[in-house]
C-alpha cells in the first residue's frame, strides 16, 4: 500500500506539470478564440463594411438574410482555436496528431500574404468602382439625362392629332402638358461603370491569389472587353448625335408642313379616315425621323466592327436604303392616284346623278332592291375609285420589284372585269326579260300571264347563263345543264308529237303513201276498137 501511494506521489510530482500545461493552453486558447471572434464580429458590425459589400454583390434582399459579421467572427474563432489545438498537441508531445495541423496552418500562414494582398486589391477596386459610380450618377443628375430621355419619348408618343388640333382651334383652352415618366438611364450608366471598374481589377486579384489557371482566360476576356470599349463609345456617340439630328429633323418637318397647311388639305380630301388620329404632318415627320436613323444605324453598326453581326445587318439596311427611291416613287404614285381617283370618282358620280342613273334599278325592274344609304351612282363612283387605286397599286408593286404581287393584282383586275361584264349582261337580261314579259302580257293572248312568266324565266335563265359564262364560273357545268335542258325539251316535244298525234300522223302517212303510189303508177289512156272505127 505504501509503495503504491509513493508511486502515485512520484508520478504526480513528475508528470502533473506536463498534463496541466496543455490543459491550461487549451482552456486559455479557447477563451482567446471566443474573445477574438466576439471582437472581430463587433468590429465588422460597427463598420458595416460587410453589409455594403454584400449589398453590392448579392443585392439588398439577399444581403438582409445573410449575417456576414457572424460568419467572419466565426472564422476568426476557428482560426485561433486551430492554433490553440496545435499548441495543445505539441505541449502534450502528441507529434503524430500535431503534424497535419501544423502543415495546414503553415500553408495557411504562407498563403496569408496573398490573401491579404487580394483583400487590399479588392478593397481598392470597390472604393474605385464606388467612386466611379458616384461620379457617373452625379453627372447624369447634373445633365438631367433621365428627364431629357423621358421628355423625348413623351414628345414622340404624344404627337398632335387631328382631333386635338380641331379642339384647340375651336376652344382656346390650353390643355395640360403630360408629365413625362422618369427613366433609369442615368442609373444604368452608373451601374455599368461600377461593374466595369470591378472587372478591370479581377485579373489583379487573381494574380495576387496566384490562380494562374483562371488568370489567363480572365485576362484575355478583360483585354478584349477593354479593347472593344472604344468601339462601343464611338458607336454610342454616333447613335446619340444621329438620334438628336433625327429628332430635330422630325420636329422641323412636322412644324413646317403644319405651317403650310398640309393637315387642312388632307382633312379636305378625307385622309383622316385612313390616318386615324395622327395628322399627315406628324406621319411625314416620323418618316423623316426613320430615314435619318437608318444611315445612322448603319454607321453605328460599322463602328462596332463586329463583322459577324454588323455585316448582315448593314447589308439589310443598305438594301433598304437602295430601295428607298423606288419606294418613295411608289408611295408618291399611290398618293397622286388617290387624289386623282377621288376627283374622278366625284365627277363620275355627279354625271351619273345628272343623267338619272339613280333610277336604273327601277327601270330594269329591280325597284325593290335596297342599297342602304348609297345610290347606284355612288356605287359606280366608288368602283371607279377602287379601280384607279388598284391600277396604281399594280404599277407601284412593279416599281418596287414585287412582281408576284403585281401579277396577282393583274389577275384580280382581269377577274374583276369579267365579273363586272357578267353583272352588266345579267342586268341587260333582267331589262329584256321584263320588257318581253310585259309585251306578252299586253298582247291579249290566252294564258298571257303564264306565257309572260315563262318568257321572263327563259330570258333570265339565258341571261344568267351568259353572265356566268362571261364570269368564267363553272363553264362545263353551264354547258352540261343547257345541253341536258334542250335535250329534255326536244325529247318532250318528240314524245308529245308521237303520243298525242298518232291518228293524225297515221292519216298523214296514208295520204303520203297514196300520193307516192299515184306518182309511180299513172293511169293509161283507153284505145278505140277497130269495129267502132269503121
The answer to whether 412 touches 406, Cβ cutoff 8 Å, is: no
Q: How far apart are CA 37 and CA 45, in angstroms?
A: 12
DSSP state of 123: H
Enumerate residue ranges in the chain where pLDDT < 70. Answer: 1-18, 49-66, 148-183, 269-271, 273-276, 357-358, 360-374, 444-448, 473-482, 485-486, 488-489, 492-505, 508, 520-534
Residue 176: what pLDDT?
46
Residue 514, exposed/middle/buried by CB under 10 A (0-12, 13-18, 19+)? exposed
Residue 168: what pLDDT?
43
E strand intervals along 75-134? none
Residue 175: what pLDDT?
44
Q: How far apart are CA 118 and CA 210, in angstroms?
A: 10
The answer to whether 278 touches 161, Cβ cutoff 8 Å, is: yes
Number of Cα atoms under 13 Å in the Cβ half of residue 383: 14
Residue 21: what pLDDT?
76
Residue 493: what pLDDT?
63
Residue the block writes with cell 453627372: 139
Which positions ≥6 away from 266 have C-beta within 8 Å?
272, 275, 279, 280
Residue 167: what pLDDT?
45
Provide the percentage of residues in the chain whose pLDDT is more than 70. Answer: 72
Residue 60: what pLDDT?
66
Instruction: Tell me the three cell numbers of residue 287.
Output: 418618316
Mean pLDDT across the chain:
75
C-alpha angle 518-521-526 in degrees, rounded to nearest 5: 110
Does this model's pTM top 0.75? My answer is no
Residue 224: what pLDDT?
84
Q: How far apart are CA 442 and CA 448, in angstroms?
A: 8
Quick one: CA dihedral 219, 220, 221, 227, positive or negative?
Answer: positive
Amino acid at each position: 500500500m505504501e509503495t503504491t501511494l509513493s508511486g502515485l506521489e512520484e508520478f504526480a510530482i513528475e508528470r502533473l506539470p506536463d498534463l496541466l500545461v496543455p490543459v491550461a493552453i487549451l482552456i486559455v486558447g479557447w477563451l482567446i478564440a471566443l474573445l477574438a471572434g466576439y471582437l472581430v464580429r463587433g468590429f465588422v458590425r460597427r463598420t458595416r463594411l460587410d453589409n455594403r459589400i454584400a449589398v453590392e454583390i448579392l443585392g439588398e434582399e439577399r444581403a438582409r438574410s445573410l449575417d456576414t459579421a457572424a460568419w467572419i467572427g466565426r472564422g476568426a474563432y476557428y482560426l485561433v482555436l486551430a492554433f490553440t489545438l496545435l499548441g495543445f498537441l505539441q505541449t502534450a508531445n502528441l507529434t503524430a496528431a500535431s503534424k497535419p495541423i501544423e502543415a495546414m496552418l503553415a500553408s495557411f500562414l504562407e498563403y496569408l500574404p496573398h490573401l491579404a494582398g487580394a483583400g487590399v486589391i479588392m478593397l481598392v477596386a470597390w472604393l474605385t468602382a464606388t467612386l466611379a459610380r458616384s461620379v457617373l450618377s452625379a453627372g447624369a443628375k447634373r445633365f438631367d439625362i433621365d428627364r431629357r430621355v423621358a421628355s423625348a419619348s413623351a414628345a414622340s408618343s404624344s404627337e398632335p392629332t387631328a382631333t386635338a388640333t380641331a379642339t384647340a382651334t375651336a376652344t382656346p383652352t390650353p390643355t395640360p402638358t403630360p408629365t413625362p415618366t422618369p427613366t433609369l438611364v442615368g442609373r444604368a450608366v452608373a451601374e455599368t461603370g461600377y461593374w466595369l471598374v470591378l472587372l478591370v481589377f479581377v485579373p489583379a486579384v487573381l494574380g495576387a491569389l496566384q490562380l494562374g489557371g483562371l488568370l489567363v482566360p480572365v485576362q484575355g476576356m478583360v483585354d478584349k472587353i477593354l479593347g472593344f470599349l472604344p468601339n462601343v463609345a464611338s458607336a454610342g456617340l454616333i447613335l446619340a448625335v444621329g438620334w438628336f439630328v433625327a429628332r430635330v429633323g422630325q420636329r422641323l418637318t412636322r412644324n413646317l408642313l403644319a405651317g403650310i397647311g398640309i393637315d387642312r388639305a388632307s382633312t379636305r380630301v378625307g385622309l383622316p379616315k385612313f390616318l386615324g388620329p395622327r395628322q399627315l404632318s406628324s406621319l411625314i415627320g416620323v418618316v423623316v425621323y426613320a430615314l435619318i436613323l437608318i444611315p445612322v444605324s448603319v454607321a453605328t453598326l460599322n463602328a462596332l466592327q463586329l463583322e459577324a453581326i454588323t455585316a448582315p445587318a448593314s447589308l439589310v439596311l443598305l438594301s433598304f436604303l437602295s430601295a428607298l427611291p423606288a419606294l418613295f416613287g411608289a408611295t408618291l404614285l399611290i398618293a397622286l392616284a388617290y387624289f386623282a381617283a377621288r376627283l374622278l370618282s366625284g365627277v363620275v358620280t355627279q354625271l351619273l346623278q345628272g343623267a338619272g342613273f339613280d333610277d336604273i334599278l327601277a327601270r330594269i325592274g329591280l325597284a325593290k332592291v335596297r342599297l342602304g344609304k348609297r345610290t347606284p351612282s355612288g356605287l359606280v363612283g366608288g368602283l371607279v375609285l377602287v379601280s384607279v387605286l388598284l391600277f396604281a397599286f399594280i404599277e407601284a408593286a412593279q416599281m418596287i420589284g414585287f412582281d408576284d404581287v403585281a401579277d396577282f393584282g393583274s389577275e384580280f383586275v382581269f377577274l374583276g372585269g369579267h365579273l363586272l361584264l357578267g353583272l352588266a349582261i345579267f342586268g341587260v337580261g333582267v331589262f329584256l326579260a321584263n320588257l318581253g314579259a310585259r309585251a306578252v302580257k299586253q298582247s291579249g293572248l290566252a294564258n298571257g300571264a303564264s306565257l309572260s312568266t315563262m318568257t321572263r324565266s327563259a330570258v333570265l335563265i339565258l341571261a344568267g347563263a351568259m353572265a356566268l359564262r362571261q364570269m368564267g364560273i363553272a363553264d362545263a357545268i353551264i354547258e352540261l345543264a343547257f345541253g341536258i335542258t334542250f335535250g329534255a325539251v326536244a325529247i318532250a316535244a318528240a314524245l308529245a308529237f308521237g303520243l298525242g298525234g298518232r291518228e293524225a300522223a297515221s292519216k298523214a302517212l296514208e295520204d303520203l303513201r297514196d300520193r307516192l303510189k299515184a306518182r309511180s303508177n299513172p293511169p293509161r289512156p283507153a284505145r278505140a276498137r277497130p269495129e267502132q272505127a269503121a
